[in-house]
Copies of this chain bind each other. A is one copy, B any other.
Amino acid sequence: MVTRRFVLSSLALATAAAALPVSLSAMAPTSDRPKLLIFDVNETLLDLGKLQQAVNQEFQSETAFKQWFGLLLQYSLVDTVTGNYHNFGQIGDAALDMLAQALGQPARPAAHKKEILTLITELPPHPDIIPGLTALQKAGFRMVTLTNSPDATVKKQMAYASLTGFFEQLLSIDSLKRYKPHPETYHSTCQQLKVAPAQAMLIAAHGWDTAGAQLAGLQAAFISRPGQQVYPLAPAPTLTGPTLPDIARQLIG
């Protein structure tokens, strides 16, 4: 349970962080080597290609997956600001209905939607992930996940992708009932792992996620996967690189 005091102090921290000039947020990694690496999961560690193909094929459109994932992210924030929490699987299911309606197609039966959504638990890691995580583990970094997917889903995802062993904990926003990039999601993770926000680094392939972490006072590394961008109106990420081994090299030095 999040206390009112924690909510207020988190908001105050976020506001203070937002007021910092960009240059103060971009700290040299050598002098501020993070004590904790917090990994986003979907699109950062895992390749969503299989799910993308299934959604595009189902709706007979090359842009259906992008539209669906956009609705999923938008409505996770709609739920966050309105206090109307549903887990990522439930919003994903609702987003399939909204997508069908947007495309003028009939809604899919529940069992069929479940079949599509189950694919999120059967995704391979991007090819750069195991080499990157191995290098970071050898260099002694503490590593956890922080995903918008529910607890049970991230456990299945990491087991399927054979990544569980790299992480001290598999954390999700599910118990907090607020989605990233809300500052509490990052603060709660730091609090649980007993690390100050400035000593933690979020690693993600989404600009909204690195922006949120930095505005909450954490460091952030952006993996610039094709089609992904940083948010131009937020501080630049502390580190940027095309792959995780590239980020790892910058962190290990």
Contacts and interface: CB of A to CB of B under 8 A. Distances in A.
Interface in A52-102: 63, 66-67, 70-71, 73-75, 77-84, 86, 90-91, 94, 97-98, 101-102
Interface centre among A97, A181, A212, A231 (most CB of B within 10 A): A231
The oligomer's copy count stands at: 2
B82 A181 contact: yes
A14 interface: yes
**Interface residue tally on A, bucketed by range:** 35 or more
A153 B110 CA distance: 43
A83 B81 CA distance: 12
Interface in A1-58: 4, 8, 11, 14-15, 18
B233 A91 contact: yes
B231 A75 contact: yes
Interface in A196-239: 207-208, 211-212, 215-216, 226-229, 231-234
